[in-house]
């Protein structure tokens, strides 16, 4: 974990500044092994550390209710940039920037970008500081570079699991995307949101590969799920209990549409949308997911019923078409 900057000095300063006595530490799965070490830093700064062990998939998932119930006076959220406009409890975001170099991975990506001249760059908050380095390498390799910035996220070129505005805004001007970062999750999101060839430059492994074929497979699977859901007699509409994923009004609108279609509908509130959780409701034929759309897209194989995004449901209800949805991207929260 020496490859990340945990900004330990800033943690200590913030605890001192707020005279925090009890601090809640929240982080995504990849950073959880560091939790006991980070808790020690908080303790040395004079506060009682409590680590959130629950899954954490983004800054949308900020554990404010949990922190309140534990009488915490500061949340330290690691691994994501600020997303919510207001926090009920003082929150320090530690973006955990990567400290390793990206050169080797980007050089490995150059051959995979042969045939594409206009390249869009994208990355997570961990690597936003590397964008200029990546640009220089690719310009030297004869590419034209675009970096989107809708200003909705803190950094140009930044993507998060459910917001690909920065890549969508430049999709028409590029032939392919290069994503700098680890794992397939964000790169698949780019390919699904833009339908463009997407290459990963992975600085952790110093290697590069394409996720374009995998994205095409997901799109085929979504078509099948929509077809199956069109036959449903009873729908379940899922409402997330996570503060940044709770779209109650949207769920109520979907319920109304289903009622107009003269189908049965039931609203379900849920924290973690897991296969076992949905399997408890055997009379529901298909679910509409108003929480994180990535659960529908990336985890379909794990569910034994269709779990549609709201965009996909609009194809079932006739409010949109498959072609139109693909053009707009498979999700837009």
Binding residues (CB under 8 A) for a second copy: these are: 24, 29, 32-33, 35-36, 39, 48-55, 65-66, 69-70, 234, 236, 238-239, 241, 243, 246, 248, 252, 264, 266-272, 277-278, 280-284
Pick 57 or 212: Cβ nearer a second copy: 57
Collapsed DSSP state (helix, strand, coil) of residue 42: helix
Pick 52 or 158: Cβ nearer a second copy: 52
Query: Two tokens at 183?
Result: 């794992």
The minimum distance between CB 5 and a second copy, in angstroms, equals: 20
The minimum distance between CB 332 and a second copy, in angstroms, equals: 24
Strands (DSSP E) contained in 85-136 are 91-94, 97-98, 118-123
Residue with tokens 């300063």: 13
Residue 281 φ/ψ, nearest 5 degrees: -120, 75
Pick 121 or 284: Cβ nearer a second copy: 284
The minimum distance between CB 270 and a second copy, in angstroms, equals: 4
Collapsed DSSP state (helix, strand, coil) of residue 203: coil
Pick 79 or 120: Cβ nearer a second copy: 79
The minimum distance between CB 184 and a second copy, in angstroms, equals: 20
The minimum distance between CB 56 and a second copy, in angstroms, equals: 10
Residue 206 φ/ψ, nearest 5 degrees: 65, 35
Q: Per-residue DSSP letters for 170-222?
A: TGGG-SEEEEESSSSHHHHHHHHHH-S-EEEEETTTTEEEE-HHHHHHHHHHH
Pick 33 or 205: Cβ nearer a second copy: 33
Residue with tokens 């699977």: 221
Pick 17 or 40: Cβ nearer a second copy: 40
The minimum distance between CB 308 and a second copy, in angstroms, equals: 16
Burial class (CB in 10 A: 0-12, 13-18, 19+), 326: middle
Contact of 118 with 174, CB cutoff 8 Å: yes
């Amino acid at each position: 974990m020496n490859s990340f900057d945990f900004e330990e000095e800033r943690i200590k300063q913030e605890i001192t500044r707020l005279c925090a006595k009890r601090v809640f530490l929240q982080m995504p799965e990849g950073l959880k092994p560091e939790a006991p070490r980070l808790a020690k830093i908080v303790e040395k700064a004079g506060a009682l550390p409590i680590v959130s062990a629950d899954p954490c998939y983004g800054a949308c998932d900020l554990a404010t209710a949990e922190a309140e119930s534990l009488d915490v006076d500061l949340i330290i959220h690691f691994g994501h940039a600020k997303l919510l406009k207001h926090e009920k409890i003082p929150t320090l975001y530690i973006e955990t920037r990567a400290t390793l170099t990206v050169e080797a991975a980007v050089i490995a990506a150059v051959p995979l970008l042969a045939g594409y001249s206009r390249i869009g760059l994208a990355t997570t908050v961990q690597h936003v500081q590397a964008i200029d380095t990546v640009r220089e390498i690719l310009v030297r390799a004869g590419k034209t570079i675009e970096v989107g910035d809708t200003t909705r996220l803190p950094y140009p070129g930044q993507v998060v699991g459910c917001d690909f505005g920065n890549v969508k805004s430049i999709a028409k001007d590029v032939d392919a995307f290069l994503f700098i970062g680890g794992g397939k999750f964000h790169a698949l999101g780019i390919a699904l949101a833009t339908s463009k060839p997407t290459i990963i430059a992975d600085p952790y492994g110093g290697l590069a590969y394409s996720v374009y074929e995998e994205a095409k497979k997901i799109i085929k699977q979504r078509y099948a799920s929509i077809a199956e859901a069109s036959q449903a007699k009873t729908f379940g509409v899922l409402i997330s209990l996570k503060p940044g994923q709770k779209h109650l009004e949207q769920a109520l609108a979907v319920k109304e549409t289903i009622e107009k279609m003269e189908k049965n509908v039931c609203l379900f509130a849920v924290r973690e949308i897991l296969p076992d959780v949905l399997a408890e409701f055997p009379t529901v034929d298909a679910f509409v997911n108003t929480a994180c759309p990535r659960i529908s897209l990336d985890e379909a194989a794990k569910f034994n019923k269709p779990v549609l995004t709201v965009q996909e449901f609009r194809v079932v209800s006739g409010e949109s078409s498959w072609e139109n949805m693909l053009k707009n991207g498979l999700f837009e929260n």
